[in-house]
Amino acid sequence: MENPAITRPSRHHAILFGCLLLAVLVIAAEALRWRAAHRATATAGAVPSLTTSNPGRVTLTELSHAHIPAPRGMPSAHASTLAALPGNRMLAFWWAGSRESGPDVKVFASTWANGAWSAPSMVVSRESLGAELGFGVRRIGNPVAWTDRAGRIHLYVVATGLGGWAAARIAHLVSQDQGKHFHVRRILPTSPLFNTSALVRTAPLALSDGGWWLPVYFEIGNKYPMLMAFDADGNPTSLARIGNSTSTLQPALVAVSKHEVRAVMRDDSEQQLVQHAASVDGGATWQDLPALNLPNYSTSVAAIRLTSGQFLMLHNHVEGGASARSILRLSISNDMRTWRTIADIAKGPAGDEFSYPSMQQVGDELHITYTWQRQAIAHHRYRIQPEGTT
Amino acid sequence: MILPDLASQIVYGRIGWAIVAATVVCALWRRAAPMPRATLAAIVAGALALMALPGNLSPAWYLGLAFQYPSGLLVGCCLLRLTQRWNGLRRSQAMPRTLAGVLAGAGILLYLDALGVLTSGYYYAGFGGVVAPLAAIVLAIACAAAIMLTHARGHAAAVLGAVVLFSVLRLPTGNLWDALLDPLLFGWALVALLAGARRRAGRQTSGRVPANDGEPVPGAALQPLAAEHFSSLKEQVGGQ
């Protein structure tokens, strides 16, 4: 006989309970995260890191120049990037294949040690990337590398979805063994439009807490620069736009002081000058500045702050009958505003291409790599000396 | 900014795309005879099995290539449609006008910002450590209240599911916007709005006075969701 005192819980009560449970779950999850994040931000204040030794003017003396050994059967090479290794060693990454956007394009790496480059090794292909991501990658593009304080190499690689470079995403790979093996950490979320049209090209900027800023840019129609901040473990912490311009891309970030950061950028406007933006609050907000008085016919630039405190920029100069990328010039500045030419690193007749430069200071040496005629990656090495010394 | 790990994204992507694909197949079935439950179950199971195939044998390989991951709300709305078909409801409202309006409005702002036309940083706010979690909590409470008050239960449950997925696992991408909106859902919202406007215009032309603004009579679980539940998110994010 049925006991009238014991009734099945009504459907309404079950729904009521379920809803309350889910709402409490959301509140609890967010509260726990907020608590953890609050603790982390209380102990870390991420401002650009400045390493200064022997402040003052410097002179540069070329020590050597050569091509990094190319992978066999890969006639096209482009977009090199450098990462420091312990013991004054370096890693160079670039992409190579039959042609830009070709299905056989892969990212290769070579190690600089004892004054020579190692044979290139394949790091990532669209097949290997797709296998780890669980979805397809149509083509591989620019790599950007960074060595964190723990010695891990972080490699950011442009990987496109359905479409051209405007459908690009950024894959984040990490190596725990100084570049011998990489595993995919994730695709970085940068856009609500199927997470497409975000690319990397220029080198990250170190932060005082061990983190770094990765320069990123968007390029469907309008082109604008962004930066993604990472903590010391390589986890993204924020994403922000640099300035309000809609015709600049490939920002090269340089710290002027702990709170002042400048971005020099490729110009996609009719002005055809190196574009310029600044942040005076540690990267929280950015203001577009007047362009520098340096020509830029839509080509990538590289900039660093030397440990002496001076600034170097590699940029394509245009004069006389030169074409957009036929002169690669190295310039120096004390204030990021007025630039003086040091040397033309590479120069050829109109139509030649010396482009997409990268720079790295390793001890008292400056290493420069760039694309040579879209066929190889060239490497130049300079001795950095205080002015007046021999 | 807390992002999900890749393994959970891969699992989510496969299941999410399976649910979306099954819903599309069922939608194409619309004009045929009522769908038996066994058929519906077979479609869902088939979609799940296909998506689970390895590498480029899986449709998820190509869907991920093109669209990456569906938003939690798109998956929720698709699940709702499948549930309605399971319960034999074939001519239900595809998307309530209020929800479609909010999604379309938010999408226009978000996508104009992403394309660089605006410079408000709406998408970046979706990663924020304060506004996005608060917006998720407000949405969760609002949706739970709507469900308890039997107010637009189905779609409130879909939003609640997307918020729970975001808050607990940070799926699909770690950004609140990606949990609530994607270009496919935005397109669905626009089509729902256009179809509703066309129906209303057609009825006005034919001189008929619509009983409830020209839309199909929804069931008890399909009443439009209250505007304030969604406008609260808009205000929170827009305040960045």
Provide the residue range defining the domain that includes A88. Answer: 47-386
Q: Is the pTM of this model over 0.95?
A: no
In this complex, which of B127, B148, B182 lies closest to A239 when CB atoms are compared?
B127
Question: Does the residue A28 lie in any domain?
Answer: no
Burial B52-64 (b: 16+ CB within 10 A, else e): eeeeeebbbbebb
Tokens of A193: 């439009």
Helix axes B97-114, B183-205, angle to 10 degrees: 130
Q: What CATH number is attached to the domain comprising A168? A: 2.120.10.10
Residue B160: Cβ-neighbour burial (10 angstroms; 0-12, 13-18, 19+): buried
> What is the model's pLDDT at position B234?
38
Tokens of B239: 């305040």
Question: Does the residue A37 lie in any domain?
Answer: no
Question: Does the residue A115 lie in any domain?
Answer: yes
ipTM: 0.91
When divided into structural domains, chain A yields a total of 1
Q: Answer whether the bond into residue B172 is a cis peptide, omega within 30°.
A: yes
Question: Does the residue A79 lie in any domain?
Answer: yes
Question: Does the residue A172 lie in any domain?
Answer: yes
The CA distance from B67 to the nearest CA of chain A, in Å, is 5
Q: Which residues of A, range 191-250, sit inside 8 Å of B by Cβ? A: 191-195, 218, 220-224, 235-241, 244, 246
Q: Which residues of A are less than 8 Å from B63 in CB distance?
A: 135
Asked if A40 has any chain B CB less than 8 Å from its own CB, the reply is no
Question: Does the residue A27 lie in any domain?
Answer: no
For chain B, the DSSP string reads -----HHHHHHHHHHHHHHHHHHHHHHHTTTSSPPPHHHHHHHHHHHHHHHTS-GGGSHHHHHHHHH----HHHHHHHHHHHHHHHTT--S--SS-HHHHHHHHHHHHHHHHHHTTS--S-HHHHTT-SSHHHHHHHHHHHHHHHHHHTTSSHHHHHHHHHHHHHHHHH-TTTS-HHHHH--HHHHHHHHHHHHHHHHHHHHHHHTT---TTTTSPPP-GGGSPPPHHHHHHHHHHHHT-
Asked if A21 has any chain B CB less than 8 Å from its own CB, the reply is no
**Are A235 and B3 inside 8 Å of each other by CB?**
yes
Q: Which residues of B are less than 8 Å from A173 in CB distance?
A: none
In this complex, which of B66, B115, B167 lies closest to A30 when CB atoms are compared?
B167
> What is the model's pLDDT at position B44?
97
A interface test, pick of B167, B180, B181 with most A CB neighbours within 10 Å: B167
Asked if residues A308 and A55 have their Cβ atoms less than 8 Å apart, the reply is: yes
Q: Which residues of A are less than 8 Å from B182 in CB distance?
A: 192, 194
The CA distance from B213 to the nearest CA of chain A, in Å, is 30
Res. A222: pLDDT tops 90: yes
**Are B55 and A130 inside 8 Å of each other by CB?**
yes
Res. A55: pLDDT tops 80: no
- Tell me the residue type at A296: N
Domain ranges for chain B? 6-238
CA distances A43 to A30, A211, A285, A333, Å, are 20, 13, 22, 35
- What are the tens digits of pLDDT across the range A336-367? 999 999 999 999 999 999 999 999 999 899 99
The CA distance from B156 to the nearest CA of chain A, in Å, is 10
Residue A8: pLDDT band (50, 70, 90) is low
pLDDT more than 90, % of chain A? 80
Q: Which residues of A are less than 8 Å from B114 in CB distance?
A: 191-193, 218
* Averaged pLDDT score across all residues of chain A: 92
| Residues 6 or more apart in contact with residue A389 via CB below 8 angstroms | none
Asked if A162 has any chain B CB less than 8 Å from its own CB, the reply is yes
pLDDT less than 70: residues of chain B: 30-33, 90-92, 207-240
The CA distance from A32 to the nearest CA of chain B, in Å, is 10
Question: Does the residue A352 lie in any domain?
Answer: yes
> What is the model's pLDDT at position B231?
40
- What are the tens digits of pLDDT across the range A228-270? 999 999 999 999 999 999 999 999 999 999 889 999 999 999 9
Asked if A185 has any chain B CB less than 8 Å from its own CB, the reply is yes
Question: Does the residue A256 lie in any domain?
Answer: yes
Residue A2: pLDDT band (50, 70, 90) is very low
CA dist., res. A294 & res. A330, Å (int): 12
Res. A132: pLDDT tops 90: yes
